A and B are shown apart, each in its own frame.
Chain A
Amino acid sequence: MNLPEANAAAELAAAIASGDRAAIAGALNLLDDRRPDARAKATALLAHLQRAQDHATGQLIGITGPPGAGKSTLSAALIRVWRQRGLRVAVLAVDPSSPISGGALLGDRVRMQTSADDDGVFVRSLSNRGQFGGLSAEVWPMSIVLLAGFDIVLIETVGVGQREVDIARLCDTTCYVAQPGSGDSVQFLKAGILEVPHILVVNKDDMGAVARRTLAELGAALTRTHPDGHWQVPVLATSAASGTGVEALADVMQQHYELLRSQQQLAARRRRYQSYWLHKRLQDEFGSFGIERLGGEKALLAELEAQDMNLFEQYAALRQRLCSAPSATGK
């Protein structure tokens, strides 16, 4: 890394931390950009952000659930509560892209509609671009940037219960939003297809009896103690439409965050997200065969978690290793 580039990265990192919207938008564009010179700049930027933050500021919240459950509307309601509490909020909203054209309609903003003069909110939509099993590959690197500039980073993603790439593996706190009257969520939970979230929400409480019933069923299907340990999964009723239950939801999100902090788990968790992200990227690119050549999933994750973090550097190094290693199947 040359000096001017490092200086530019330092400046950009400082601007992000100060909440400069243009800088934040520019950094997100940079992280999205796959061209080599952009990657070099992004690497430099991440080096700065990671050093400065040690990954342990801000809260990274994942909100997932079936389409139409009210995730975006609920996010908007949460944003209002957080803003009243003086917290700065960024949102990454992930929508599916068309497998045919690669294009996408990024529609979550419509529901989130925030005031044009509130600098404490920032929304970036992403399409999953057919990669990363429904979660955009940009989510983690972008989260690093946003965590530097905001108190809360909220990731909205459609999840109908695929275990493989769960948002849970990239977030401090995951919240699953269920649709009243739909048995799917209950089935997925029972069958273990759905990773147990930290918080379970049945939205649209204003629908009355049907919402109450789903609430009861989900409560019954759930193992109350989260596999992380020390956390009893709350099952909450909200109405994003009328605002009921939203303050309570924000409260338990805060409690979970405080638990992680008191256990001093945040930094370690975020290393895990990053290792997971790297592993996933490599797997997408090189298949499980590539992962085997790096020593297999378990060893690789352990190796990555032990290292000092720099996302794109680590990534480049591992790619390099894979591309230059003599092929096991050689002639």
Chain B
Amino acid sequence: MSQATVKRDHPWLMRTYSGHSSARASNELYRTNLSRGQTGLSVAFDLPTQTGYDSDHPLARGEVGKVGVPINHIGDMEALFDQIPLGQMNTSMTINATAPWLLALYIAVAERQGVDPAALQGTTQNDVLKEFLSRGTYIFPPQPSVRLTTDLITYTVQHIPKWNPTNICSYHLQEAGATPTQELAFALSTATAILDAVRDSGQIPAERFPAVVGRISFFVNAGIRFVEETCKLRAFGRMWDTLARERYGVSDPKQRLFRYGVQVNSLGLTESQPENNVQRIVLEMLAVTLSKNARARAIQLPAWNEALGLPRPWDQQWALRMQQVLALETDLLEYGDVLDGSPVIEAKVQELIDGALAEIAQVDAHGGMVACIDNGYVKRELVQSHTRRMRNIESGELQIVGVNCYQESAESPLTAGEESGIMKVDERAEREQIASLQAFRAQRDSTKVAQALQQLRSAAAGGSNIMPPSIECARAGVTTGEWSAVLREVFGEYRAPTGIDIAPLNLAGSDALEQVRARVRCTGEELGRPLRLLIGKPGLDGHSNGAEQIAVKGRDAGFEIVYEGIRLTPAQIARAAQEEGVHLIGLSVLSGSHLELVEDILSEMKTAGIADIPLVIGGIIPAEDARRLQAQGLKAVFTPKDIDMNVIMDTMVTIIRAANGLDPAA
């Protein structure tokens, strides 16, 4: 049969999640990607932008332009979309706590381009509940956070009808260790919590409510167990349909469709033998494309070097080509649903649905999703699942090729290049961004800025929709930091539960664990008191998995653990170490700003008079930086390839022994 006669389905939207350095540099990248066949934009913002700080805020140091693009004001946003006609673009923005603000900037730029905001298409992630559970870029307490989320939803439903106001994310839950059942349950509980809040806000007339339900989309994960993952997506579709019909009375089946985008699993992508990640990514992509009735609307893929650092344009191109090969070369898009009618698939789908319903009942029993943020129930469940996963990797029950089996490898040409296979962000980016921000501030009309902020404050305090005054702020030249500071004052700031207070999993303990325990105990006795360990997450980095797992393992190995969660300043960490009298400080940094943060922490430790406490670090640390850190006095650097946490614990005991004049080998 010749290709021309076959009717093929339209491929999904192909995206690459990207942004770095500055609006100008990211704009160039976007235009290149679009010219290479990418069909939508997916904007990554840097951490200060995501957590509501301007580039010149002290907490932004080292983070500006690193993991995404810094957007401080309308000028930056305009540069980001220079020569990209917003009226024709479909733009996805991974933005949450500051989502109303970034959308306001987007709308203001559209106005400047002469585009009617009502015609805009795209997505704001705007799912703040999962920020507390996994992603970490929350700012305000749960209640006001939900209110901002619902304000954005009600606004776009009324004024930008084609906008996807929120993308309920189960993606990040899997990245924090969730099982498929947990992913289903927690994402659907989040969706109902948000929809209930929209309904109860009274901003939407009842007859328009089905349209709101119809605008809800999802952002889902797909792991390596791709058969089960396909079933999970079929389960999602069915459960959402039921919920929409029964809970919200939506009669139009189109408005009950489970619309979702995907980023496939990155947690399982390895630092060891990173070329194997390509196979993993492709198989995971199958999970979300195979079944036509449960196929993704949009896909973005990680790159082969995910666990090494940020991808270069070539790495991202490779990931995009994987999608193109599947969509264009294979016959996937020529058939109806190839899984319909399979009793095996059907049974698995039902099993997942039953499990998810039971878990949803648990969430309800704990007061619903919003209450579960503050009481820590869901976070503990996630940490528990991740602990189980780590234990299974350690025991070999869960096999990962190149990590705990088939570790031997010929030398890889992929990582041999000069940049050691990752992208380096230009160190000048931060300085240049700060300079341009200060120039922007100097030329704007400060009376207009003050007035716009005043309106924002009254809306926040009074309860009217936050979007109109935010758009006014955008036009007036307000900055990201100023917008957020006003809301911080009105709503307050929040620290989420860490979830590490779970019961020990392996009561008996493996031989390796028993040995470490004995060593921790003996060393404690020799030093006169139990060993204490402070685990610190400095900077704006929200990657908490590693810190949590080290904390739980440390407790199980016999350490007394002090861990206060993410986003602490170097001064807070040094102070806690002193107050708590710890034997060792372990930092966890995955954001790429380890060099700046370690420098600050060393200096704070000196000021506090605790420079003699040994310091170690774990996270995404390129080899060259690891050498630099060790030269500055760090006693060890751990990276994802250090998968055996018993060995990590043992190393830390050795370091403590050496630092306290005991025989390190004993």
Binding site for B on A (CB under 8 A): 21-22, 25, 28-29, 32-35, 38, 68, 97-98, 100-107, 109-111, 113, 116-117, 122-125, 127, 129
Contacts and interface: CB of A to CB of B under 8 A. Distances in A.
Given A102-B558, A103-B557, A107-B501, A34 B529 contact: yes
Given A32-B529, A125-B562, A116 B571 contact: yes
A38 B562 CA distance: 24
Interface string B569-610: 101100110111100000000000000000000000000111
Contacts of B501: 105, 107
Nearest to A68: B375
A29 B613 CA distance: 13
Interface string B516-546: 0100110001011110000000000000000
Given A32-B581, A110-B497, A113-B495, A103 B555 contact: yes
Contacts of A107: 498, 500-501, 563
Contacts of B576: 109
Contact of A101 (B558, B563, B565): B558
B564 A102 contact: no
Contacts of A68: 375
Contacts of A103: 520, 554-561
14 contacts: A22-B608, A25-B578, A25-B581, A29-B581, A33-B527, A38-B528, A103-B556, A104-B561, A109-B576, A110-B497, A111-B495, A117-B571, A123-B580, A124-B581
A22 B555 contact: no
Nearest to A32: B529
A106 B532 CA distance: 10
B507 interface: yes
Nearest to A91: B579
Contact of B561 (A28, A105, A124): A105
B558 A106 contact: no
A297 to B, nearest CB: 29
Contact of B555 (A28, A101, A116): A101
Interface residues of B, number: 43
Given A22-B608, A32-B581, A122-B579, A101 B556 contact: yes
Given A21-B578, A33-B528, A34-B529, 20 more contacts: A25-B579, A32-B529, A33-B529, A35-B527, A35-B528, A97-B560, A98-B555, A100-B509, A100-B556, A101-B504, A103-B559, A103-B561, A105-B551, A106-B561, A109-B562, A109-B576, A109-B580, A110-B495, A116-B571, A123-B580
A124 B529 contact: no
A124 B579 contact: yes
Nearest to B497: A110
Nearest to A101: B558
Nearest to A124: B579
A137 B354 CA distance: 48
Contacts of A102: 517, 521, 530, 558
Given A22-B608, A32-B581, A106 B375 contact: no
Contacts of B555: 98, 101, 103-105
Contacts of B581: 25, 28-29, 32, 124
A22 B579 CA distance: 8
Interface of B: 375, 495, 497-498, 500-501, 504, 507, 509, 517, 520-521, 525, 527-530, 551-552, 554-565, 569, 571-572, 575-576, 578-581, 608-610
B524 to A, nearest CB: 8
Nearest to B533: A103
Contacts of A21: 578-579, 608
Q: Which of B554, B555, B569, B608 has the most CB of A within 10 A?
A: B555
Given A32-B528, A33-B529, A105 B504 contact: no
Nearest to A20: B609
B495 A101 contact: no
A161 to B, nearest CB: 21
Given A105-B551, A116-B575, A124 B556 contact: no
Contact of A98 (B500, B527, B556, B564): B556
B558 A123 contact: no
Contacts of A101: 504, 509, 517, 555-558
A105 B563 CA distance: 8
Contacts of B375: 68
B561 A100 contact: no
B500 A105 contact: yes
Contacts of B529: 29, 32-34
A150 B485 CA distance: 34
Contacts of A33: 527-529
Contacts of A100: 504, 507, 509, 556
A167 B573 CA distance: 30
A116 B555 CA distance: 26
A35 B527 CA distance: 7
Nearest to A121: B579
Contacts of A104: 555, 560-561
A99 B495 CA distance: 29
A104 B500 CA distance: 11
A297 B608 CA distance: 45
A303 to B, nearest CB: 29
Nearest to B506: A100
B189 to A, nearest CB: 21
B647 to A, nearest CB: 17
A110 B375 CA distance: 13
B507 A125 contact: no
B498 A116 contact: no
Contacts of A22: 578, 608-610
A34 B578 CA distance: 20
